[in-house]
Structure 1
Amino acid sequence: MKKVLVVFAVVMVLFSKAQITDYQKLIDSISQKRWDSTALDIDSLSNPKIIDIRSLKKDSVQLTNNMVIVSNTSDTSPLTPSSIINLPTLKRWFFFGQNSLVFNQSSFANWYAGGNNNIGVIGKVNYNIVYKKNRHYMDNNIQMGYGFVSSTGQSTRKTDDYINIMTNYGYELAQHYYLSTGFQFLSQFTPGFNYANNPDPVYDDRISKFMAPGYLNLGIGVSYNPNENFQVIFRPVNGKFTFVLDKKLQFAGNYGLERDGQSMRSELGAMVNVLYKIKLFKDVNFVNQVNFFSNYLQHSERVDINYSGSLNLKFNKYITTVITYDMVYDHDQIKRLQRKQTLGVGVTYNLGYKMERDTKTGIIKPFVN
């Protein structure tokens, strides 16, 4: 029996060897070559080679096409370094613009309670142009507004008129702290009249016009900006210049002028500007900005105060309501508190930051290097 099993085993071995064809041998040789080419050569680890592999920096984003971000918000507050510090753009220029147009209209026909047909329009623009590179920061803010109302039987009267241009340059000293310098220019477009004393005025009845008055603030100091909702600018050296370039209005006591015929008054003092923004609800924010100025050369205890408050309510992408309240106290001009309040519901269209990728690398880096 054992001899039979041995013979059977020999026959099976010979039979299995006969099944290996030339094709099978070819397949086995190819598999062996692939194994040899990918197998790890332990001896090669003694002399490793370092290959330079390009990697993206942290917070960078690889893009294949241009990146465009359009912001549409009712926020009218000035931009600050913290409000743009995390924007992912290689471009060092940042742009934001807001355009508002408000209409008011009333008409009456055989209305027993009485009334006067009228139409009113108020237009406002608010543009920010910001430059940021390394430790350098420059913010340019342009605010302009003009409004009028026309009523039956009365001359057209303006309801709003202002020009406000600000430029602020900062150099980062430490986190949230900047060496700051800049200027602010204030004036108006057209002549202003006192309609309470003169319901139907002519040009000779003007009490103000462009550059009468005009204000220029220029100084140097430091600014503190811990977040986008809070900013303090302190300038211990600040020049305040008041221009009255109208012969009729150049008499003593008008806009703080000290003598008749004076076209410019110069003051040197300290200035503090505080910006504080509060988000009350979703799409509802309250922006507060107050400015203090003290004259070193004359009556430093008389501090000029200029406050501006703006309540912004956004109904949808284009319809917004803005309520503003302004207060000014300047002892040299008038020893009373000056106040102005406006309310407007209208159309607002925003233009927002367009950012393009680097055409060479295709990388969007953080806004601040």
Structure 2
Amino acid sequence: MKIFYAYILFVFIGTTSLQAQEIDTIPINTKGLDIKLKRSPLPSRTGTIPFKAVQLAPVVVDARVNYWKTRTSVGINVNQATFSNNWKGGGVNSLAIGGLVNYKAEYSKESYSYVSEVILEYGKIKNKDQLQKKTRDRIFWDNKAALQLSKNWYFFGSVNFESQFDSGFAYSKNTDGNEFPNLISKFMSPGYLTESFGFEYKPSKFFSTRIGTGTARQTFVLDTAVYITRDPNDPDNRLKDKKAATKYGVDFGKKFKNELAFQVVAAFEKEIFTNTMLKSRYQMFIPYDRALVNIDHRLDISITSKLNRLMNVSLTGVGLFDRDNDTRIQGSQTLALGVMFVFPR
């Protein structure tokens, strides 16, 4: 009997426990109850935080657009050789020096552009027991303004000048075997001034072709001494009575000649290999008042390769056909190793 009562008590306690667990899950309405929460140990601040406006001064950027791009190259080449008096291999003591200055300025804004380029070259060589001789001598200044008409076509006007610094001589020998110089050219004898306008085709930055439908060229011979030839075997070095009728297309007794012509100028300048620049310029001059056999051609080519920051090697060549100078093609070639300074770097 006691066991029965104990079983009944165990069942009653278990049922009451389950009911209490179910009642604990029911939400309790705490409205109106005075419940105090434990204060947080962390510091806190109540109330509004005041903000003060900070005045920032406007920053003015002094930025200017530079429409000009310039480049200057200065090169110096030196070649020297010395032999002892008993040198059996043969040779002659010599010293050669040459200089080059190339300045180019470009302006471009919207559809208008302007390019100015100056090329100055001069070099001399002195061999033992011989007269000094020039190896290079040129003054060239080209100016061109252009107005863009379409993607690749421009209307242009240009003016360029060309001459030389020093006197040029033709060398011969007299009966004693000594060298004798005859003056054949000097500054502004000849000199060329060319004005041209027309259309330019420029499909890329490295190639362009000018078609000068209206071109005028003035040829100057200001010193009449270039017309006269001296006799190398005359002990008094007197002038020959015989004078050339024309020189560089200018009649004797006149200072210049003006010609109207059709002109084509093609230019190419590009880095063909790493640190190797190819630059060429071809010019064709067709006079309106003469036969087509009198067309003038000139081709300038230069290849310059940088060996390091300063040193470079250059190969230049010029081909010229102008019947006012000579009935045959004239040519010159120069290979030089030297230093080159370029600004800006």
Which bin holds the TM-score, normalised by the shorter protein?
Answer: 0.7 to 0.9
- Stretches of structure 1 that go unaligned for 5 or more consecutive residues are 32-63, 67-88, 354-369
Deviation digits for residues 119-155 of structure 1, max 9, x if unmatched? 1100000000122222211111000011011222222
The residue number in structure 2 matching 1:101 is 76
Structure showing greater relative contact order (alpha-carbon pairs closer than 8 Å, 6 or more residues apart): 1
Q: CA deviation at 1:20?
A: 6.3
Greater percentage in strand: 2
Deviation digits for residues 291-344 of structure 1, max 9, x if unmatched? 101000122453110001111221111111110110100122211101011110
Report the RMSD for the aligned CA atoms in angstroms: 3.5
- Indicate conservation of the 8 Å contact 1:253/1:333, yes or no: no
The residue number in structure 2 matching 1:200 is 179
The residue number in structure 2 matching 1:70 is none
Q: CA deviation at 1:91?
A: 0.6
- Indicate conservation of the 8 Å contact 2:141/2:160, yes or no: yes
| In 1, Cα distance between equivalents of 2:142 and 2:273 | 29
In the TM superposition, what are the counterparts of 1:268-287 in structure 2 within 5 Å?
268-277=260-269, 279-287=271-279
3-state DSSP of counterpart to 1:298: coil
**Higher Cα radius of gyration:** 2
Deviation digits for residues 232-273 of structure 1, max 9, x if unmatched? 01111100111000022354231112x321210111010001
- Indicate conservation of the 8 Å contact 2:126/2:133, yes or no: yes
Deviation digits for residues 40-66 of structure 1, max 9, x if unmatched? xxxxxxxxxxxxxxxxxxxxxxxx899
3-state DSSP of counterpart to 1:193: strand
The residue number in structure 2 matching 1:218 is 195
Question: Does the C-alpha gap of structure 1 residues 188 and 139 become closer, same or farther in structure 2, counting only changes over 3 Å?
Answer: same
- Indicate conservation of the 8 Å contact 2:70/2:103, yes or no: yes
| In 1, Cα distance between equivalents of 2:224 and 2:135 | 25
Instruction: Decide which of 30, 36, 41 is 1:18's aligned counterpart.
Output: 36
Question: Does the C-alpha gap of structure 1 residues 114 and 301 become closer, same or farther in structure 2, counting only changes over 3 Å?
Answer: closer
| In 2, Cα distance between equivalents of 1:65 and 1:200 | 66
Question: Does the C-alpha gap of structure 1 residues 119 and 314 become closer, same or farther in structure 2, counting only changes over 3 Å?
Answer: same
Paired AA for residue 100 in structure 1 = G
The residue number in structure 2 matching 1:256 is 249
Greater percentage in helix: 1
The residue number in structure 2 matching 1:145 is 121
The residue number in structure 2 matching 1:40 is none
Question: Does the C-alpha gap of structure 1 residues 304 and 341 become closer, same or farther in structure 2, counting only changes over 3 Å?
Answer: same
Question: Does the C-alpha gap of structure 1 residues 105 and 269 become closer, same or farther in structure 2, counting only changes over 3 Å?
Answer: same
Question: Does the C-alpha gap of structure 1 residues 262 and 16 become closer, same or farther in structure 2, counting only changes over 3 Å?
Answer: farther
| Count of residue pairs the alignment pairs up | 299
- Stretches of structure 2 that go unaligned for 5 or more consecutive residues are 1-15, 50-60, 228-243
| In 2, Cα distance between equivalents of 1:120 and 1:195 | 18
Is 1:324–2:300 an aligned residue pair?
A: no
The residue number in structure 1 matching 2:139 is 163
| In 2, Cα distance between equivalents of 1:22 and 1:309 | 89
Give me the TM-score of the superposition, normalised by structure 2: 0.77
3-state DSSP of counterpart to 1:160: strand
| In 2, Cα distance between equivalents of 1:349 and 1:308 | 22
Give me the TM-score of the superposition, normalised by structure 1: 0.72
The residue number in structure 2 matching 1:360 is none
| In 1, Cα distance between equivalents of 2:273 and 2:69 | 27
The residue number in structure 2 matching 1:357 is none
3-state DSSP of counterpart to 1:228: coil
Paired AA for residue 18 in structure 1 = K
The residue number in structure 2 matching 1:296 is 288
| In 1, Cα distance between equivalents of 2:143 and 2:220 | 19
| In 1, Cα distance between equivalents of 2:258 and 2:328 | 22
* Stretches (4+) displaced over 4 A: 1-6, 8-16, 20-24, 26-31, 196-199
The residue number in structure 1 matching 2:57 is none
| In 1, Cα distance between equivalents of 2:173 and 2:142 | 34
| In 1, Cα distance between equivalents of 2:139 and 2:260 | 23
Comparing 104-113 with 11-20, greater Cα deviation is found at: 11-20
Comparing 310-319 with 278-287, greater Cα deviation is found at: 278-287
Question: Does the C-alpha gap of structure 1 residues 279 and 128 become closer, same or farther in structure 2, counting only changes over 3 Å?
Answer: closer
- Indicate conservation of the 8 Å contact 2:224/2:252, yes or no: no
Paired AA for residue 166 in structure 1 = D
